[in-house]
Chains A and B, each alone.
Chain A
């Protein structure tokens, strides 16, 4: 959780280049076959239940087991490593970059991620708040719920197995909730963003300023 943030510098960066550049890596070893070209438009996962896969990006074949990898963001293929077409790659090899146009909400969240402590999903699963936390959220809203390390904050549900998740991180209030009950969350994706209560005014200032300035230029 950062104490200092140069909002002018950060916001200037987003105004001059309102994109995220997302590198796509080989998910495991295997022979790669690209399904897109440079400058191709790609779509992210969609559908009411997030059930429609994004644009196929590449196929990776390991021991006669081909796996088609889809885009999880929308944007344009800004860079692609054509030398790897048909080549055997190691897990984690960078294959391409997608330029993703940012929306106002995403810019706010990106800036907030620099000041919030982000608590990640330990496994790909569905999550919901622990009963006590949920009841406190229902009564007063998430931003009035203070949590400390060791608190049981979430339940991870996977294959009819419910596991309590204990908070590890800096004490604070639940400022942002990044998951929805019933929708799977990928491992490592932030579930909640936590901040110290004395930082709430600064965060509110960020949100107000981004909204105002973004609306002014769009």
Chain B
């Protein structure tokens, strides 16, 4: 390994010594410490590879091999690879994963209640956008659900897949992430729609430092899901936050609200309709106003911004 030098110990040290004090500026120190404790499983084991086919497939093999050998699966294990040879996006879309990018997968035992799980994908986008802005790209935004974009060009994407272990039939989330950090060249089909931190900043970043920041943010934002959930059903009366803090952060970081968009389950292949984004619901759904004046909420699918308004 050359670009990535990261250990679980280093991540935990960074979280305690740097991330936690930073987070204490926005919430009570006791709450911040509790939130971080909830999220501390994230990155508690790290596996580094020079090259993998697909990190999520490796996560599946890891779960299967642990279960078959009678061992428990390590919740929070992060699998990282310098390059991926069989990476892909949703559906049949290609995802280019050469040297210089941050490619990996988090193994998560889904112990959250369904209403918190609904916000998991938003927490991923928030974590990446926070890390990218900290690296100096203030114009990075989240496009619902959790694409990170600058303008229309994509910087990062996430995909959560579930996997059921073969022996105990226990279910796990495999949280896949791909962030274009120091990689600069893209295949021709992605040239107009993808960018990287290096292309925008004009300089390389320490991939290890960036990865550490991202994982620390993941620990915080996933920890928030557990922290708020522990305060239900009386939340928000017994909670320090007025609205779910992951939703609040997402709203601060998104540029989707107020935009005219094309919506589709597979928006590239089968765009369904145009609408204006009016907000986000408590469970992370996208609130849309259609040209005929009706409103709807979508919980699955994706959007692309319409450059010139057609209906609104």
Q: Which residues of A contact B290 (CB under 8 A)?
A: 47, 51
Q: State whether the Cβ of B159 lies closer than 8 Å to any Cβ in chain A.
A: yes
How many chain A residues sit at the interface, stated as a range, is: 20 to 34
Set B160, B164, B296: member contacting A160, Cβ < 8 A: B160
Q: Tell whether A164 pairs with B164 under 8 Å between CB atoms, given A126-B301, A157-B300, A159-B284.
A: yes
Q: Which residues of A contact B146 (CB under 8 A)?
A: 160
Set A52, A126, A166: member contacting B300, Cβ < 8 A: A126
Q: State whether the Cβ of B238 lies closer than 8 Å to any Cβ in chain A.
A: no
Q: State whether the Cβ of B294 lies closer than 8 Å to any Cβ in chain A.
A: yes
Q: Tell whether A158 pairs with B299 under 8 Å between CB atoms, given A49-B273, A52-B292, A182-B265.
A: yes
Interface digits, B100-143 against A, CB 8 Å rule (1 contact, 0 not)?
A: 00000000000000100111111000000000000000000000
Contact B270–A182 (Cβ < 8 Å)? yes
Given contacts A161-B160, A161-B161, A182-B264, 10 further A-B contacts (CB under 8 A): A52-B294, A123-B114, A157-B300, A158-B300, A159-B122, A159-B145, A160-B302, A161-B162, A166-B164, A184-B298
Complex Cα distance A126/B296, Å? 15
Closest to B294 in A: A52
Q: State whether the Cβ of B173 lies closer than 8 Å to any Cβ in chain A.
A: yes
In chain B, positions 261-312 with a C-beta closer than 8 Å to chain A are 264-266, 270, 272-273, 284, 290, 292, 294, 296, 298-302
Closest to B272 in A: A49
Contact B300–A184 (Cβ < 8 Å)? yes
Interface digits, A168-205 against B, CB 8 Å rule (1 contact, 0 not)?
A: 00000000000001101000000000000000000000
Contact A162–B299 (Cβ < 8 Å)? no
How near does chain A come to B218, taking the closest CB pair, in angstroms?
Answer: 16
Q: State whether the Cβ of B158 lies closer than 8 Å to any Cβ in chain A.
A: yes
Q: Tell whether A161 pairs with B301 under 8 Å between CB atoms, given A52-B292, A126-B265, A182-B264.
A: no
Closest to A52 in B: B294
Complex Cα distance A49/B270, Å? 13
Complex Cα distance A75/B164, Å? 43
B interface list, Cβ under 8 A from A: 90, 114, 117-122, 145-146, 158-164, 171, 173, 264-266, 270, 272-273, 284, 290, 292, 294, 296, 298-302
Complex Cα distance A163/B122, Å? 17
Contact B114–A164 (Cβ < 8 Å)? no
Complex Cα distance A48/B296, Å? 12
Listed by A's residue number, 12 A-B pairs whose Cβ atoms lie within 8 Å are: A47-B290, A51-B294, A52-B294, A125-B299, A157-B265, A158-B299, A159-B119, A160-B121, A162-B159, A162-B161, A166-B164, A182-B266
Complex Cα distance A47/B114, Å? 29
Set A51, A123, A160, A164: member contacting B162, Cβ < 8 A: A164
Q: Tell whether A162 pairs with B164 under 8 Å between CB atoms, given A52-B292, A126-B301.
A: no
Complex Cα distance A164/B171, Å? 10
Q: State whether the Cβ of A101 lies closer than 8 Å to any Cβ in chain B.
A: no
Contact A53–B264 (Cβ < 8 Å)? no
Set B114, B162, B264, B273: member contacting A162, Cβ < 8 A: B162
Contact B161–A160 (Cβ < 8 Å)? no
Set A47, A49, A157, A161: member contacting B117, Cβ < 8 A: A161
Q: State whether the Cβ of A124 lies closer than 8 Å to any Cβ in chain B.
A: yes
Q: Which residues of B contact A51 (CB under 8 A)?
A: 273, 290, 294, 296
Complex Cα distance A2/B164, Å? 32
Q: Which residues of A contact B121 (CB under 8 A)?
A: 159-161
Contact A125–B296 (Cβ < 8 Å)? no
Closest to B290 in A: A51
How near does chain A come to B174, taking the closest CB pair, in angstroms?
Answer: 10
Contact B294–A160 (Cβ < 8 Å)? no
Complex Cα distance A125/B265, Å? 11
How near does chain B come to A52, taking the closest CB pair, in angstroms?
Answer: 5
Contact B265–A159 (Cβ < 8 Å)? no
Q: Which residues of B contact A166 (CB under 8 A)?
A: 164
Q: Which residues of A contact B163 (CB under 8 A)?
A: 164
